[in-house]
């Protein structure tokens, strides 16, 4: 992992790994079919999950192996809550749950108004004890960051001790805006792309993540 952060983006972690880069390249290809795209999102999500959880706190517990007792470490406390920004966030969520099957899950329903690029909330449901859990917000694209900023602001109202956000692609404009709004929330991404185009799409990008996962265009 690189802290591509530098001075410009203090809280950005770019997950640099050959498997992540290879799979991301396949996802960017316009000819990649829906089924393969969906599977790739799931696989990259697992690799990102590994990185975003690298510093979770552990407790020592007493266990019995078939040979003898030992002290070993397990995740401490109430563990995790994954929060998916609908709908494309659900693609990443699946892979994260493959690796962390007992995580609790929340959903924030948001869509970008295509003209204003302002997010519109249509759904919100999170676990009742989210204030005792580490939260990982997932959404494949951090473009203008309007959606991520709004989702994290909403989740913060419920008081979790810690929030981090995971995406596949981030635009520099989005990272900057997100950091201005939520400097306490680290961003983990598989790649930092060049820019946003005039329609608010990340370039070179991979297109509309939701449409590519669900085949809606």
The footprint of ligand URA on residues 7-66 (CB under 6 A) is: none
How many Cβ atoms sit within 10 Å of the Cβ of residue 128?
8
Structure tokens at 118: 């302002």
CB of 73 to ligand URA, least distance (A): 38
Residue 99 or 117: the one with the smaller Cβ distance to ligand URA is 117
69 forms beta bridges with 64
Sign of the torsion formed by the C-alpha atoms of 114, 119, 125 and 131: positive
Q: Residue 136 is encoded by which pair of tokens?
A: 């990982």
Neighbours of 15 (CB within 10 A): 23
Determine how β-strand 195-196 pairs with β-strand 202-203: antiparallel
Nearer to ligand PRP, 146 or 189 (CB): 146
Regarding 91 and contact with ligand URA (CB under 6 A), the answer is no
Which ranges of the chain would DSSP assign to H, the alpha helix? 18-28, 34-52, 89-99, 146-156, 172-181, 209-214
In the range 105-134, which residues lie near ligand PRP by CB under 6 A?
111-112, 117, 119
- 84: partner contacted, choices ligand PRP, ligand URA, none (Cβ within 5-8 A by kind): none
3 catalytic per annotation: no
Stretch that binds ligand URA, among 5-13, 27-35, 128-136, 198-206 (CB under 6 A): 198-206
CB distance 56 to 134 below 8 Å: yes
Q: Is 38 annotated as catalytic?
A: no
Task: State the Cα angle at 58 between 56 and 63, rounded to 5°.
Answer: 145
The residue (of 109 and 200) whose beta carbon lies closer to ligand URA is 200
Output 172 or 200, the one with its CB closest to ligand PRP: 200
Q: Choose the contact partner of 146 out of ligand PRP, ligand URA, none; CB within 5 to 8 A by kind.
A: ligand PRP
Residue with smaller CB distance to ligand URA, 134 or 193: 193
Q: Which stretch binds ligand URA (CB under 6 A): 31-39, 122-130, 155-163, 202-210?
A: 202-210
d(CA 35, CA 52): 26
Strands 141-142 and 162-170: parallel
List of residues contacting ligand URA (CB under 6 A): 141, 143, 200-202, 205, 208-210
List of residues contacting ligand PRP (CB under 6 A): 85, 87-88, 111-112, 117, 119, 139-148, 174, 200, 208-210
């Amino acid at each position: 992992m690189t802290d591509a952060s530098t001075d410009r983006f203090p809280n950005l972690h770019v997950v640099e790994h050959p498997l992540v880069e290879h799979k991301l390249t396949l996802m960017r290809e316009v000819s990649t079919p829906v089924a393969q795209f969906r599977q790739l999102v799931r696989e990259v999500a697992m690799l990102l999950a590994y990185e975003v959880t690298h510093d979770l706190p552990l407790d020592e517990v007493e266990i019995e192996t078939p040979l003898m007792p030992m002290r070993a470490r397990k995740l401490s406390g109430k563990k995790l809550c994954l929060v998916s920004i609908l709908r494309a966030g659900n693609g990443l969520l699946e892979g994260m749950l493959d690796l962390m099957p007992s995580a609790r899950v929340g959903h924030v329903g948001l869509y970008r108004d295509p003209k204003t690029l302002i997010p519109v909330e249509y759904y919100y449901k999170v676990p009742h004890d989210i204030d005792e859990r580490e939260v990982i917000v997932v959404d494949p694209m951090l473009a203008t960051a309007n959606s991520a900023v709004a989702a994290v602001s909403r989740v913060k109202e419920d008081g979790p001790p810690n929030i981090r956000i995971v995406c596949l692609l981030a635009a520099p404009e989005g990272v900057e805006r997100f950091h201005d709004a939520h400097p306490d929330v680290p961003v983990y991404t598989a790649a930092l792309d060049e820019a946003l185009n005039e329609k608010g799409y990340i370039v070179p990008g991979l297109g509309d993540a939701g449409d590519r996962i669900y085949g809606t265009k």
